[in-house]
Chains A and B, each alone.
Chain A
Amino acid sequence: MGESLLASVVFLKLADFARRSVTEQARMRAQLEAVIAVTTAELEPTDRVVLDAPDGVAVVVLADPAGALRLAERALHAAAAGLPLAAGLNHGAVQVRDEKGEARVEGDGIAVAAQAANFAPPAELLASRAFREALASAAPGREARLGVAGTFTDAGLRAHAFFRVDATAQARRVRRHAVLGILVAAGLVGASVAVRVAAVGHDAFVQRLEQGYEGALRAGGDALRGWAKKAGL
């Protein structure tokens, strides 16, 4: 025990928890636990550790950053009705410690996720750069969902660059790549035509093109007729 391993950490923080009345704190905590029970159901129990934080819950997800992102998004969605929840995600070192027989989990992985949750407004999530990189490594392309949120400075004057979910970013990226593909394809065909025109001359190229077109039409017509004959039509 004691070696630091890397894991994705989802820190779910209840906004202004400490300022609320104890009755409200108890209600919110019970609600949060219900949300966690629902959202962690899709993960194998051997893939996640649920930890109690003073003002929320941290879930350590092993070897599945995409699962961690899904969990955070689902938790925020589930909590949308009345629970002021903010999420922070990080991928970093976590360590298990045994203290008088009680297991404790600590590490930068949790600290940065907690910091991200501190900066996140209610119903939003902020993810660290390390999490974005882990997501890119585990599920290439999914990191496109996380757009730059900005740089945040904590009380210790440390600057943190965080990313937030941009729901349409991934679709935009796919469209962008598709348009680029079409342009590349059109460019290649256009270049090929230009080379041929330069080589054989414009009239000869047009003539070959027409011959090729007619030949293709003929070949197509013959093939259609042959198929109809075979089919007894």
Chain B
Amino acid sequence: MAKKAPRRIGRYKILEELGRGAMGVVYRAEDPALERVLALKTIRLAEDMEGREDYQRRFMLEAKAAGKLTHPNIVTTFDFGEEADIAYLAMELLEGTDLRTCLLENSLSTAEAVDVVAQVAEGLGFAHERGVVHRDIKPGNIMLLERGTAKIMDFGVARMRSADFKTSTGLVLGTPRFMSPEQITGGPVDGRSDIFSLGSVLYELLTRAPLFAGEDAAQIAHNVTNLEHAPPSRANPQVTSMLDFVVARALKKDPALRYQDAYEMASDLRACLAEVRERHAEAVRKGNETDGTRTVKLEAGEARAAASPALAIGSDTDLRLSPRFDSAGALRRLAHPSGRDLARLAARPRRPGLLKRLLRDEAPRRLAATALAGALAALGVAWLL
């Protein structure tokens, strides 16, 4: 049963409970000194918590760093502190919807999704410039306000949460779906890790399907670290090729090949927006927003299932047809070879025989012709003289 909300935490008067998570509770609270209503995020500190002192120290450091971030796309942290077994963060109270809900409701158009992610990238760029890495960028940590402004939440507490997923000890509490490969493998994490996570969020917003799916966290972690994604344009025809490139660059497994700067990603996304909006308008004009991509059917009557990028992930040598070239005829020959094709294409190449060489290879043909002429001359000498 849920505990009754305390009346006061620190100097903040608790008004109501807004939400409850694995780490603590979020309250609507009031700062009596400023008469300001804010969100108070609490984190429970258990008495017997192993390494509690270290945990508290890290929390203070992170909260202090997050408190320095004042940016239109980052939720402002006003204050932080501890009381009894509770650490708390006093933050700007937002009225809006988080991206996770938007994803569930399917309420964002492609252009809106690009715009939101560009704003988040701006916010991340600002934080990274100041040496703060979020470490837990996911739809649930991005709030969308009524006027379309996106805000990144939970700077400062993410590091506490990222410890949830521990493959080495077998303890898996969180989901690695939006983690970067280096985060999963326990490598050093910097701003580029947030860029990967944001790329995953963008992918989901564009395709409306999870990028790295799996039956359990370990399988998802394997997919994050090993499998390549399908271009989002395969699932959503409004995604331009330029946008495909942005996603691909954000989702590079090697951080050195990824965007090195979130501002650069934001700038590229802004550059994509005009074309995406144009496509959207065109689709609306045609009154047809369904998938317009051409698909080669390998089996007659085979229904095309909804694109599932997670399943369509493959390595560099498991390639998709280029939609710009018609390869249907050749593909059919490969998929359903005729008897003649089977004989030609299944046979291993053989070293050509002498006769084939003499007939089709110019060099031995010349040699043979000259030698033959010499032999005839020799016969003439022997016979006539």
CB neighbours (8 Å) of A21 from chain B are: 264, 268
Interface size on A, residues (CB 8 A): 86
A106-B381 contact, Cβ under 8 Å, with A133-B349, A144-B363, A185-B375: no
Does B351 contact A106, Cβ atoms closer than 8 Å? no
A22-B319 contact, Cβ under 8 Å, with A101-B303, A144-B363: no
CB neighbours (8 Å) of B297 from chain A are: 101
CB neighbours (8 Å) of A40 from chain B are: 325
Interface size on B, residues (CB 8 A): 83
Q: Is B367 an interface residue (CB 8 A)?
A: yes
Provide the B119-139 mask, 1 if CB < 8 A to any CB of A, else 0: 000000000000000000000
A140-B352 contact, Cβ under 8 Å, with A45-B329, A195-B382: yes
Q: Is A212 an interface residue (CB 8 A)?
A: yes
Does B249 contact A25, Cβ atoms closer than 8 Å? yes
**What is the CA–CA distance of A51 and B331 in the complex, to the nearest angstrom?**
11
Provide the A51-66 mask, 1 if CB < 8 A to any CB of B, else 0: 1111001101011010
Q: Is B228 an interface residue (CB 8 A)?
A: yes
**What is the CA–CA distance of A37 and B322 in the complex, to the nearest angstrom?**
12
A192-B378 contact, Cβ under 8 Å, with A23-B268, A96-B331, A181-B368: yes
Does B330 contact A51, Cβ atoms closer than 8 Å? no
Provide the B327-352 mask, 1 if CB < 8 A to any CB of A, else 0: 10111011111000110111111111
Q: Which B159-208 residues have a C-beta within 8 angstroms of A?
A: none
What does DSSP make chain A's interface, helix, strand, loop or mixed? helix
A174-B349 contact, Cβ under 8 Å, with A100-B311, A205-B385: no
Does B370 contact A50, Cβ atoms closer than 8 Å? no
Partner pick for A54 among B242, B316, B361, B368, CB 8 A cutoff: B316
Does B361 contact A189, Cβ atoms closer than 8 Å? no
**What is the CA–CA distance of A57 and B323 in the complex, to the nearest angstrom?**
12
Q: Which of B248, B360, B381 has the most CB of A within 10 A?
A: B381
Q: Is A46 an interface residue (CB 8 A)?
A: yes
Does A181 contact B325, Cβ atoms closer than 8 Å? no
Partner pick for A196 among B316, B320, B385, CB 8 A cutoff: B385
Interface residues of B (CB under 8 A from A): 228, 231, 234, 241-242, 245-246, 248-249, 252, 257, 264, 268, 271, 295-299, 302-308, 311-312, 314, 316-327, 329-331, 333-337, 341-342, 344-352, 356-357, 360-364, 366-371, 373-375, 377-379, 381-382, 384-385
Please list the 10 inter-chain residue pairs (A to B) with the smallest Cβ-Cβ separation, ordered nearest first: A185-B374, A181-B370, A101-B304, A141-B361, A46-B329, A192-B378, A137-B349, A51-B319, A50-B325, A177-B363
